[in-house]
Every structure is written in C-alpha cells, then in structure tokens.
C-alpha cells in the first residue's frame, strides 16, 4: 500500500464518524463536513504518508546529488539507504503506511483537545482518558488498504 495525503483525510473523517457512531460525541449533521476538514488540518502536520516520505527522500538526495555521484553508489541504493535512515527515525510510530511524527498517544491527545474545543462538536460524552484510548485504538486499527 502506498499511502497519500488523501488517506489522512479519510482517517480524520473515519475517526469523527466512529466517535459519532459510538455515541462518544454529538455533531450537528449540517456542519459535520467542517469538522472532518478541520480535524484533517489539525492532524496533517503530525502524519507523513508514503508519498510525502518519498518526496522528502528525493529532495534530500537532490541536495546531496554531487556528493552521491562521486560515491559510485546507484540511485536505487541511495534511495533505499535514505529511506532506511528516515524509517529508523519514524519506525516506532509507523502504522499501516502512516508515519506519526509524535507518539500516537500524543496525536490522540490532540484529537481529544480538538473535540473538546471545536465549536461544531456539540457534546463529548466520554472522559478525556476514555476518548483518548478509543482514538488510539482506532489509529492502530486504521488500515488504508481496507477503505471503502
């Protein structure tokens, strides 16, 4: 699976939908789309996709192109090495092709704060801790390959 920025939009929409279906939150149906978009905007800086990772690697390789040419290593090997370095930085926070820039628990905390403060979320029925646990569980199970 090659993840793209759209997968983060789907993640945001699905987490809000799941919380609403579980009766953890209440939204005004007319403004639901706004909540999806605002959550995507909130999450986007904290999650890197395969597409963005590839772009970062290519940019890094481009900046070091002259030095890499002199090394005699093939472009493919250079890409693999750069990817390995980046994956080592993000490895423990990677789930199904989404690479969280901070621990998933911290991202869930951001979502809880978002839900508590967003003016279109009419009610939050769970405690902060229960809501956070529910969101962490959702993030860990979210699989972009199973989108429908």
The domain in which residue 59 lies consists of: 5-142
Structural domain total, the chain = 1
The two structure tokens encoding residue 14: 């699905």
74 pLDDT higher than 60: yes
pTM listed for this prediction: 0.83
**Within-domain flag for 132:** yes
CA distances from 115 to 35, 66, 127 (A): 9, 48, 12
- Give Cβ neighbours of residue 32 (< 8 Å, ≥ 6 apart): 16, 20, 120
**Within-domain flag for 147:** no
**Within-domain flag for 63:** yes
pLDDT of 5-53, one tens digit each? 999 999 999 999 999 999 999 999 999 999 999 999 999 999 999 898 8
């Amino acid at each position: 699976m090659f993840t793209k920025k759209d997968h983060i939009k789907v993640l945001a929409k699905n987490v809000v939908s799941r919380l609403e279906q579980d009766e953890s939150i209440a939204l005004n149906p007319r403004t639901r789309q706004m909540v999806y978009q605002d959550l995507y905007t909130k999450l986007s800086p904290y999650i890197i996709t395969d597409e963005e990772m590839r772009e970062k690697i290519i940019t890094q390789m481009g900046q070091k192109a002259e030095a890499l040419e002199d090394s005699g290593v093939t472009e493919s090997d250079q890409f693999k090495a750069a990817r390995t370095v980046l994956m080592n930085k993000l490895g423990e926070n990677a789930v199904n092709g989404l690479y969280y820039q901070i621990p998933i628990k911290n991202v869930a905390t951001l979502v809880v704060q978002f839900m508590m403060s967003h003016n279109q979320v009419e009610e939050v029925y769970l405690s902060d801790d229960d809501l956070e646990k529910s969101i962490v569980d959702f993030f860990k199970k979210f699989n972009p390959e199973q989108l429908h």
